[in-house]
Amino acid sequence: MAEFDMPTTYDPRAVEEKWYRYWEENKFFHTEVNEKQRPFSIVMPPPNVTGQLHMGHALDNTLQDILIRWRRMQGYNTLWLPGTDHAGIATQAKVEEQLAKEGLDKYDLGREKFLERVWAWKERYGGRITHQLRRLGASCDWDRERFTMDEGCSEAVKEVFIRLYEEGLIYRDNYIINWCPHCRTTISDIEVEHLEKPGQLYYIKYPTKDGTDALVIATTRPETMLGDVAVAVHPEDERYRHLVGKTLVLPLVGREMPVIADEYVDPSFGTGAVKITPAHDPNDFEVGRRHDLPQVRVINKDAVMEGEIPPAYRGLDRWECRKKIVRDLKEQGYLVKIEDLTHAVGHCYRCNTVIEPMLSRQWFVRMKPLAAPAVRAALEGQVRFIPERFTKIYLNWMENIRDWCISRQLWWGHRIPVWYCRDCEEVMAAKEPPEKCTRCGSSHLEQDPDVLDTWFSSALWPFSTLGWPEKTAELSYYYPTSVLVTGRDIIFFWVARMIFSGLHFMKQVPFREVFIHGLVLDALGRKMSKSLGNGVDPIDVIESHGADSLRFMLVTGNTPGNDLRFHFERLDGARNFANKIWNASRFALMNLQDYDPAVAPGREHHTLADRWILSRYQACVREVTDFMEAYELGEAARVLYEFIWSEFCDWYIELVKPRLYRGEDARDRACAQDVLATVLRGIMELLHPFMPFITEEIWQRLPHEGRTIMQAPWPAYRPELRDEGAEGQMAVLMEVIRSIRHIRGEMNVPPGKTARVILVAADGNVRDLLQVGNGYIQDLARCRVQIRGELTRVPPQSAHGVARGVEIYVPLAGLIDIDREVARLQKELAAVEKDLARVRGKLKNEGFLAKAPAEVVEKEREKGEELSGKASAIRQRLAVLGG
């Protein structure tokens, strides 16, 4: 062994920077196709190129790294493929913000120059999050890093678009889309966040043309009435059957429109009569198509009123228009009443602007034919969701899926590969710009100005990143990937789209399993957000506590699919765990300087404590491995924590110290060293996927084979080392030691004093065990032990305990100043009884019970029970001391 130079305290920053550089420089993360090895592959959910690491990223990538490091150690040929997403809306917004500071907008630059600015921004800032992932310890194959707009991925996007177009699965049509007036683009249905907001329900009277009757409708958006073309009622609603087919006159506008019957109408909502505005409501759009109604657009892309409407409303913002319409309806006698209500309002998931449903000519993917195989894949087990409950959520969405609007009114992104002939209006989809129109031969061609939805390219991620549409060796070897690790919030955004894309183009699912995790919430259970100011920066945490502590905190207590609350106390606990490992390892390594594995004694020389820790270590190996296989990573971390902290550090190291210190028997010391080194090295290897930095630092200081712990074999379960007899025997001895320690603490025995302890066991086997473990008891409980089969007379002033059938007596005379201890306990009892009387008085006070909140009363009851138990324990101690 080298000269001992291990620092007394653990410095995560120095260790983490050193080892990550070593791993990356030596390309330990890199992999090549090897048909002789079994592959295990993960594609990283690509974070936005605009982004920086947040706690959701930290959790997601920690879980992926744990799986990759574990499988790598198991001998798999592992590929963790990293990359970033071009994030169309977010990235364009960043650059437009920069331009605004210069007094410019994108139109001042033009499309080509604007895109040059975006690419420059990406080159400058786009690597920030990948550098932060390195700080976290992500063992990605950075040599294979991809970007959704790199040459290969762009080629895949064009290939997919053209194939789907030629198959009739991509089409262009006028359709209701979700328009964000702030981002000035369409967003898909699943990018709309429906937030509960206070609002009003306006009841408006629509008179019949002949003036003999009227229908009262209820709406939350009176400004859209300017685009009304009908009023619908349910066909079985007796209240309105006589009005179906009649003509109404639209208030304020004068437009004549019919009363129609449609089963879409909910007779129990409002009045049971619904205004139909096909150009500004998705449900009304479908009703309008069924009844061949006109589409009257009255709100433009700036959310400003326009079109065939009274001049008084033209040019008004939608909210100002609402106020004016309500005033005018009231003045003209059409407003019946207004009711307050709370309802779901669609917001842009990026900027939180209220979405405006709008009729627009857009590109769509026809989803039903693509969704059907993706549904079958989940039902037949081709792809498995973990936890299983997410299968139902996935299926429900896929079975009720609507066509996907894929065009976005942006400049940054994959431009739609479609050209239009300005002479004959022919539409041509092609990878490269056509020289002339395929129908009329004209060269007056114009490319569609829109780009594709960002999710269109990321839907191809599992195979586009491996070289598709080329038939690469990587694609053949690593696809389908092994598992996708992702948050529950993007099952629809991304997971479903990857599944139907993989099935359609690769004829196989893109991954065998989908490991779903929850969100990282703040301590109060709220989503972390800028608006709430409750976010926690993972890099700040890494600076203060170290990456290993952050990783371990995120995984412990984490169950698949469930949200996780971030508590700084838990983070401190993880750091304490790292320090505990460091201190225990430092002690072990300090005592291993003369250790030679080649001359270590055999198993026949193992003591009871050796056999116990080796057996418990094997149990730990088995449990951790089983939990990992089941994706119960939090449970695996819990098992490791309990074994390392309690059994190894608190017990075995204490048990082995005398054999290392006394040096009376060289063979015994060598045996203790061998077990200590073996178990410590195994602990580092089991813990490595969770805490990669500290484990590498310690493992490198232990006797080992290989250049890095990353390449060490995952510990194998060895049933021949399980020794249930040793485990049972040690359980008895440990309980006896705990009981003696408890008595010493309860009776205030000074830590430095050696106590006399009498152990009484009627069972001869137990007496033999106590004799074998006598040294352990004496060393760890600081006592001199007498072992007896029976006791004829209890020693006076003895504290008493029972542990696993062993009676324990600790004579206190000479150990403590009994008179002083009696006086102290009497004083303590008086104080406790005074507090108890006060609490009991409160609980008998009818006024307090009537006025105090239930939780306050309950706390007082709990306090009373606690004080009562404390008083009882003190009296028992006084009885022992004769007080």
Domain spans, the chain: 31-159+458-517, 185-357, 541-722, 727-816, 819-881
- pLDDT(737) > 80: yes
- Find, among 805, 581, 542, the residue nearest to 683 by Cα: 581
Class for the domain spanning 541-722: mainly alpha
pLDDT tens string 551-590: 999 999 788 889 899 999 999 999 999 999 999 999 999 9
- Rounded average pLDDT over 495-523: 95
Could you tell me which residues are annotated as the binding site for ATP?
A: 530
- Rounded average pLDDT over 775-801: 90
Assigned CATH for 31-159+458-517: 3.40.50.620
pLDDT tens string 340-370: 998 888 888 778 889 899 888 889 999 999 9
Assigned CATH for 727-816: 3.30.2320
Grade residue 325 by pLDDT with cuts at 50, 70 and 90: very high
Q: Which residues of 173-202 are buried (b: 16+ CB within 10 A; e: fewer)?
A: eebbbbbbbebbbbbbebbbeeeeeeeebb
Grade residue 1 by pLDDT with cuts at 50, 70 and 90: very low
Could you tell me which residues are annotated as the binding site?
A: 530
For domain 819-881, which CATH number applies: 1.10.530.10, 1.10.287.380, 1.10.275.10, 3.40.50.720?
1.10.287.380
Return all residues near 220 (Cβ < 8 A) that are at least 6 apart: 199, 200, 201, 202, 341, 343
- Rounded average pLDDT over 433-458: 95
- pLDDT(227) > 50: yes
Give residue 93's pLDDT. Answer: 85
By DSSP bridging, strand 806-811 and strand 798-803 are antiparallel
Instruction: Tally DSSP H helices, then E strands, for the chain.
Output: 29, 29
Contact assessment for residue 593 and residue 673, using Cβ atoms and an 8 Å cutoff: no
- Rounded average pLDDT over 68-88: 96
pLDDT tens string 182-194: 888 887 776 788 8
Strand extents, DSSP E, 110-246: 146-147, 170-180, 185-187, 192-207, 214-219, 230-233
Listing DSSP states for 541-553 in one string gives HHHHH-HHHHHHH
520 pairs with which residues across the strands?
A: 564
Q: Which residues of 85-118 are buried (b: 16+ CB within 10 A; e: fewer)?
A: bbbbbbbbbbbbeebeeeeeebeebeeeebbebb
- pLDDT(316) > 70: yes
By DSSP bridging, strand 407-408 and strand 427-429 are unpaired
Strand extents, DSSP E, 761-836: 783-788, 798-803, 806-811
- pLDDT(625) > 80: yes
Instruction: Quickly count: other Cβ atoms within 10 Å of residue 132's Cβ.
Output: 22
**Mean pLDDT rounded to a whole number for the chain:** 92
Torsion angle, CA of 503/507/511/513, rounded to 10 degrees? 80
783 pairs with which residues across the strands?
A: 755
pLDDT tens string 144-179: 999 999 999 999 999 999 999 999 999 999 888 888
Q: Which residues of 257-274 are buried (b: 16+ CB within 10 A; e: fewer)?
A: bbbbbbeebebeebbbbb
- pLDDT(716) > 70: yes
- pLDDT(117) > 90: yes
pLDDT tens string 383-420: 999 999 999 999 998 998 889 989 998 999 999 999 99
> What's the rounded Cα separation, in Å, for the pair 804 and 116?
77
- Rounded average pLDDT over 688-715: 97
Ranges of H-type helices in 688-763? 692-701, 724-746
Tell me the fold of 185-357: Isoleucyl-tRNA Synthetase; domain 2 (3.90.740)
What's the pTM value of the predicted model, to 2 decimals?
0.84
CB-based burial label for 611 (10 Å; 0-12, 13-18, 19+): buried
Q: What percent of the chain has pLDDT over 70?
A: 99
809 pairs with which residues across the strands?
A: 758, 800
Listing DSSP states for 837-852 in one string gives HHHHHHHH-HHHHHHS
Are 185-357 and 819-881 the same fold in CATH? no
- pLDDT(666) > 90: no
Return all residues near 138 (Cβ < 8 A) that are at least 6 apart: 61, 64, 65, 80, 82
> What's the rounded Cα separation, in Å, for the pair 554 and 136?
12
Grade residue 3 by pLDDT with cuts at 50, 70 and 90: low
Tokens 């007082």 belong to which residue? 860
